[in-house]
Structure 1
C-alpha cells in the first residue's frame, strides 16, 4: 500500500513538472533568493538602489568576484521587481576615525547594472564599528552627525545611529556599533537597516503623485457637485449635454486612477515591508536619543497615509461619478419609457377609433346592401304584377327583415373568417 502511494505521488509530481508547474527546487530556491553578505569586524557597507527605465528582466541575487583577500570588497547585485540594488562590503583594518570615502564610481555602477541612465532611488552608507563608546556624543560629532536618532537593536547586541541627512554625494549615513553579533547576524542586521532606507524611498515615490493629484481632485469634487445639482434641475431637452459632461468627468477620474493605481499599490506594499523591517530590529531606547525606528515612522507614515488617502479619494470619486452616471441614465430611461407609454396609449386610442369607424361602416354596409336587395325585390314584384302575377304586399313586408338578417349574417361570417385567417 505504501509502495503504491509513493508511486502515485511520484507520478503526480512528474505530471505537474511536465505541465510547467514549479518543482520543489524552484520553491526552495525562492527561499534563498536574497541572501545577505556575511562579514565580521569593522567594515563599510555601501548600498545603492537604482530604478531602470524598464523593469528588470532578471530576478534574484548574484555575487561578483573579488580579490579573495580579507580586505577585498565583496559586491552583491540584486534584481527586484521595480529596481536593482548593489551592495558592497569593504572590510576595514581598524575602527575608522572619519567617514570612509565611497568606493563606487559612476562608471563602475553603470557597468554593474548594465543600464542606460538609471534613476537613483537611495544610497546608504553604513559604517560598522566595534563596541559603542560610553558617550555617543563626541563620536557622532567627530563623524559629522547632527540631531541623531539612536537605538539598541538585536536585543542589545548592537547599536544603530543616523541623522537621516542626505550628503552631497546623495548618501544617507548610518553608524552601527557591534557588541556581540556574529557574521551571520551582523549581515542580516545590516541588511535590515539598508532595506529600511531603500523601501522607504521606494514607498515615497507615490508622494509626488499624491501631491500632483491634490488640485485635480479638488476640481473633480467641485465639478461632480455641480453636475449632481444640475442633474436634479436639468429639463429633459438637455439630458444629452449633461450625460456627455458626466461621462467626460468620469473618464478623467478613471484615467487618473489607472495611472496611479500601481504606484499607490506599490507604496502600500513597500510601507508594509518598512514596518516589518523596523519590527525585526527589536530596538530599545538609548538614553538621550530618539529611537531609530520611531524617527522613521513618525516622518514616514504621514506620507504613506497621504498616498492612501489620495488613492481612496480617487476610488470614491470614481464610484460617485459612475453612480451619478447611472442615475442620469436611469432618469433618461424612465423618461423614454414615459414617452413610449404615451405613444402606445395614443396608438391604442387610434386603434379604438378605427374599430368604432369600422363597426359604423359595417352597419352602413348592412343597410346599403339590404336597401339595394330590397330595391331589386321591389322591382321584381312590380314586374311580376304587370305580368299578371299578383303578389301580396305581406310578402314584401316579410322579406324586409329576412333580407336585412341574411345580409348581416353574411357580413359577420366574412368578418369572422378574415379574423380567424389573420
Structure 2
C-alpha cells in the first residue's frame, strides 16, 4: 500500500497458477470508501510472448524486457499489461520494474482526470470572448463607461472562478503526464519492430488530451490579460474625464471668485461714496457757523476728499482684518 497526495495505490501479488479472486476478495473494490481510479493487471513471465490484442509494445532495459498493453479496460474494468523477461532478473529487480509499469498506468490515467470539467469550461471562455468589448473609445459617455467597466469586472470574476476550479487540476495533470514519460525514460523504452511503441502510442493518445487542458488555461490567461487591458483603458479614460471636469470646475470657481471680487470692489466703492456723502452732510453744518456764507460750498468741497479718504481707509482696514481672520 502506497499513500500519495491524491490517491492510495494498492498492489496485490498473485502467485503463478492462481486467480485474483483466489487470493483476494474482489468485493472490496465495490466497498471502497473512495472512487477507484485505476485497475491494472500485470502478468509477467520469463520467455513469454505478447498476446495478440496488445496495442503497443516496447523493449525495456536495453532489450532485456518486452512489455505491452492493450490500454483498454476489460469487462471488470482492468487494463492489462504483459511483461516478458528474457531471463530471470530476480524478485527484487523484477518487482521494481513491474512497480514502474504500474506507475506508468496509474499516472497515465490520472493525467487525464477531470477532463469533463476542463471541457465544460470551453463555453464559458467562448462566452467571455464574445462579450468582450472590441474597443474602448473616448466617445463613450460616463454611464456607458461605468456599465462597460462593470461588465468587465463580471467577466474577470468568471475567469477567476475558472482559475480556482481548474488551475490545480491542470497543473497536476501536467505533472502526471511528465511522470509517465520520465518512467519510460528510466526504463529505456524503445519501440519493437512490428508494433507501435508505448512511447509513441501515449504521445499520440495521451499528450493531445493534456495539451487541450493546457490550451484552456492559456486561453483563460489571454482573456484575463485582454480584460485587464480594457479595464485599465477605461479607468484611465474615466480618470482623464474626471480631471477635465475638475479643471473646468476650478476654472468656473476662479471666474466666479473674480466676478465676486469685482462686485465686492464695486459695492465698496459705492459704499464709500454713500458714507462719505452722509458724513459730509453731517459734518459741514458744524463748521458752517465758523465761515463766511460765501465759503460754505468751499467747506463742503474741501471736506469731501478728506471724508472719502477716511472712509475708504477705514473700510480697507476692516476688509483686511476680516480676510486675515478667515
Q: Secondary structure at the match of 1:358?
A: helix
CA positional deviation for 1:125: 0.5
Once residues 235 and 260 of structure 1 are traced to their aligned partners in structure 2, the CA distance between those partners, rounded to angstroms, is: 38
5 Å matches for 1:130-279?
130-132=46-48, 136=49, 140-141=51-52, 145-146=53-54, 148-180=55-87, 181-224=89-132, 227-229=133-135, 233-279=139-185
Alignment of 1:23-34 (within 5 A): none
Normalising by the residue count of structure 1, what TM-score does the alignment of the two structures yield? Answer: 0.71
Q: Displacement of 1:215 after TM fit?
A: 2.4
Cα deviations across residues 4-48 of structure 1 (Å, max 9, x unaligned)?
Answer: xxxxxxxxxxxxxxxxxxxxxxxxxxxxxxxxxxxxxxxxxxxxx
Q: Which has the higher contact order (CA 8 A, sep 6+)?
A: 2
Q: Tell whether 2:225 aligns with 1:322.
A: no
Aligned equivalent of 2:45: 129
Are the equivalent residues in 2 in contact too, given 1:231–1:242 (CA < 8 A)? no
Instruction: Could you tell me which runs of 5 or more consecutive residues in structure 2 were left unpaired when the two chains were aligned.
Output: none
Aligned position for 1:14: none
1:367 aligns with 2:287: no
Q: 2:312 aligns with which of 408, 411, 420?
A: 408
Quote the offset at 1:158 in angstroms.
1.2
Contact 1:207 1:306 in 2 (8 A): no
User: How far 1:87 moved relative to its partner?
Assistant: 0.6
Count of residue correspondences: 324
Deviation at 1:230, TM superposition (A): 6.6
Quote the Cα distance in structure 2 between the aligned partners of 1:232 and 1:379: 73
1:327 deviation in Å? 2.2
Inter-CA distance 219–105: structure 2 relative to 1 (3 Å threshold): farther
Partner of 1:5: none
Give the secondary-structure state (helix, strand or coil) at the position aligned to 2:10: strand
For residues 300 and 147 of structure 2, what CA distance do their matches in structure 1 show? 77
Query: Are positions 1:399 and 2:303 aligned together?
Result: yes
Q: Which residue of 2 aligns with 1:290?
A: 196
Report the Cα offset of residue 104 of structure 1: 4.6
Name the TM-score, length of structure 2 as normaliser: 0.90
> In structure 2, what is the Cα distance between the partners aligned to 1:285 and 1:257?
39
How many Å separate the matches in 2 of 1:193 and 1:290? 17
**CA distance in 1: counterparts of 2:256 and 2:172, whole angstroms:** 66
2:4 aligned with 1:84, yes or no? no
Give unpaired runs (5+ residues) of structure 1. Answer: 1-76
